[in-house]
Structure 1
Amino acid sequence: MNLLFVTVVPLVFFSIASAVASMADAKRLGKILGVMMLVFTATAIVSSLVMLGVVKIFPMSGEGIVLSMPADVPSQKLSAQIVNAITVSDFRDLLSRKNMLALIIFSILIGLAALFSKRDGERFREFLISGNAVMNKAIGIVMLYAPIGLGAYFAYLVGVFGPQLLGSCVKAVAVYYPAAMVYFFVFFTLYAGLAAGRKGIRAFWANIIPPALTAFATGSSVASIPVNLKASERIGVPEDIREVVIPMGATIHMDGSCLSAVLKIAFIYSVLGMDFSTV
Structure 2
Amino acid sequence: MANEKKKMGLIPKLIIAIILGIIVGTQLPAIVTQIAVTISSNFGKFLNFIIPLMIMAFVTKGISDLSEGAGKLLLATAGLSYLSTLVAGSASYFMAKSIFPSFISKEMAADITEATGRSLEAVFEIPLNPIMDVTSALVLAFMMGLCISILRQNGSGQGFYKLVNEFSDIINMVLEKAIIPLLPLFIFGNFANMAYSGSVFAILQIFVKIFVCIIALHLIYLVVLFLIAGTYSKKNPFASFKKAIPGYLTAVGTQSSAASIPVNVECNKKIGVSKQIREFVIPLCATCHMPGSIITLTACVFTLLHMYQMPHSYALMIKFIGILGIAMVAAPGAPGGAVMSALPFLPVVGIPSDGPLASILISLYLTQDSFGTAANVAGDNAISMIVEQVYYKHIVKKPIPVEED
1:63 corresponds to 2:122:
no
Of 63, 86, 95, the residue aligned with 1:20 is 63
Alignment partners' CA distance in 2, 1:278 and 1:133: 47
Aligned-pair Cα RMSD in Å? 3.1
Q: Tell me the residue number matched to 2:79.
A: 38
Contact kept? 1:4, 1:142, Cα under 8 Å: no
Contact kept? 1:15, 1:244, Cα under 8 Å: yes
- Mapping 1:113-262, distance limit 5 Å: 113-118=147-152, 121-142=157-178, 145-146=181-182, 148-159=184-195, 160=197, 161-165=199-203, 169-184=207-222, 186-206=223-243, 208-262=244-298
Structure 1 residue 39, shift from structure 2 partner: 1.6
Structure 1 residue 273, shift from structure 2 partner: 2.0
- Mapping 1:73-84, distance limit 5 Å: none
State the Cα deviation string for residues 34-93 of structure 1 (Å, max 9, x = none).
Answer: 2213321332233123323322331242334689xxxxxxxxxxxxxxxxxxxxxxxx98
Structure 1 residue 258, shift from structure 2 partner: 1.8
Alignment partners' CA distance in 2, 1:237 and 1:137: 22
Alignment partners' CA distance in 1, 2:65 and 2:179: 26
State percent identity of aligned pairs. 20
Structure 1 residue 105, shift from structure 2 partner: 0.9
Structure 1 residue 219, shift from structure 2 partner: 1.2
Alignment partners' CA distance in 2, 1:275 and 1:37: 31
Q: Tell me the residue number matched to 1:107.
A: 141
Higher relative contact order by CA 8 Å / sep ≥ 6: 1 or 2? Answer: 1
Contact kept? 1:180, 1:256, Cα under 8 Å: yes
Alignment partners' CA distance in 2, 1:241 and 1:230: 12
State the Cα deviation string for residues 5-31 of structure 1 (Å, max 9, x = none).
Answer: 443232221112222223213xx1122
Alignment partners' CA distance in 2, 1:249 and 1:214: 16
Alignment partners' CA distance in 1, 2:214 and 2:88: 12
Structure 1 residue 109, shift from structure 2 partner: 1.4
Q: Which ranges of structure 1 fall in alignment gaps of 5 or more residues?
A: 68-91
Q: Which runs of 4+ in 1 moved over 6 A?
A: none
Change (3 A) 1:163 1:65: closer
Scaled by the length of structure 2, the TM-score of the pair is: 0.54
Paired AA for residue 217 in structure 2 = A
Scaled by the length of structure 1, the TM-score of the pair is: 0.75
Contact kept? 2:194, 2:200, Cα under 8 Å: yes
Contact kept? 1:101, 1:248, Cα under 8 Å: no
Change (3 A) 1:134 1:201: farther
Structure 1 residue 264, shift from structure 2 partner: 2.2
Paired AA for residue 144 in structure 2 = I
